[in-house]
């Protein structure tokens, strides 16, 4: 009986938080479009704010974020798991120092450096985002696995589970919440950092913002920034839902 009550309570509180964010996002987006319809636009502004142009920038931005985050997960999670294995724990600390350094470097620096070395474009931006977002994913994977209750692992070993079975049935499922939190942080970081990709010709909402700055047109700047915020909020909202769905029951 109590389980049902617990479940019901969490569902209703989820619903409340799930409802508020989309409302804010919708208000922002509608507000922006109403704003550019209502105010008088000069020819430069009108050209910069054509709807297909905006939608294209949004789509580019989403692509940058998704591709870079997927790559970050593909590299960060297995690497994090590998670094918690026996024998690799010592170099684990070293790699974490490296990942820390990656995040400490200003992302614009990484972007520009990569652009100078390898040229510009979408994939350069993706690599820069990856360097920047690797730390939260890697660190949370390692912490997630290390925080698993030793008694549960001891019980698993005592029952005759192999190291591999302990990883797949105990360590990974129990570290999912911490891992997902890291991935969520990486996603949100990437939405922000991806605006800088405009400087290396990778497009995205950053190109609207930088156009606004370069042309000294406030409405253009405003649309770019507000849409970036709206995108960050909606991705965070989706990640929150994914977190709740993927979290194993019982913990």
- Is residue 151 near other proteins by the rule CB under 8 A? yes
Residue from the set 40, 52, 87, 158 that interacts with other proteins by CB under 8 A: 158
Whichever of 1 and 23 has its CB closer to other proteins, that residue is 1
Nearer to other proteins, 40 or 160 (CB): 160
Nearer to other proteins, 21 or 157 (CB): 157
Of the ranges 17-25, 29-37, 53-61, 170-178, which one interacts with other proteins (CB under 8 A)? 170-178
DSSP SS3 for 131: helix
Q: For residue 247, what is the DSSP state?
A: S
Smaller CB separation from other proteins, 37 or 249:
249
- Contact call for residues 48 and 215 (beta carbons, < 8 A): yes
Q: How many CB atoms lie within 10 A of CB 82?
A: 14
* 119: three-class secondary structure by DSSP: coil
Locate all alpha helices (DSSP H) within 194-217, ordered by sequence.
Answer: 205-215
Positions in 210-249 near other proteins (CB under 8 A): 248-249
Number of residues that bind other proteins (CB under 8 A): 24
* In the complex, least distance from residue 1 CB atom to other proteins, rounded to whole angstroms: 9
CB-based burial label for 245 (10 Å; 0-12, 13-18, 19+): exposed
């Amino acid at each position: 009986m109590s389980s049902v009550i617990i479940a019901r309570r969490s569902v209703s509180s989820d619903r409340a938080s799930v409802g508020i964010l989309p409302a804010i996002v919708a208000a922002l987006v509608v507000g922006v479009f109403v704003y550019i319809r209502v105010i008088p636009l000069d020819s430069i502004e009108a050209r910069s704010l054509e709807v297909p142009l905006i939608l294209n920038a949004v789509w580019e931005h989403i692509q940058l974020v998704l591709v870079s985050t997927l790559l970050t997960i593909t590299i960060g999670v297995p690497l994090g798991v590998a670094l918690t294995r026996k024998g690799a724990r010592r170099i684990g600390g070293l790699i974490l120092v490296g990942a820390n350094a990656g995040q400490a470097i200003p992302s614009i620096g990484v972007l520009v450096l990569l652009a100078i070395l390898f040229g510009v474009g979408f994939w350069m931006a993706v690599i820069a985002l990856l360097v920047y977002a690797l730390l939260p994913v890697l660190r949370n994977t390692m912490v997630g696995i290390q925080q698993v209750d030793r008694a549960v692992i001891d019980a698993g070993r005592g029952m005759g589970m192999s190291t591999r079975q302990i990883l797949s049935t105990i360590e990974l499922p129990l570290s999912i919440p911490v891992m997902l939190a890291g991935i969520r942080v990486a996603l949100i970081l990437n939405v922000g950092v991806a605006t800088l990709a405009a400087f290396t010709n990778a497009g995205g909402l950053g190109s609207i913002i930088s156009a606004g700055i370069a042309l000294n047109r406030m409405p253009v700047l405003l649309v770019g920034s507000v849409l970036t915020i709206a995108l960050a909020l909606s991705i965070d909202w989706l990640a929150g839902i994914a977190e709740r769905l993927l979290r194993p029951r019982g913990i």
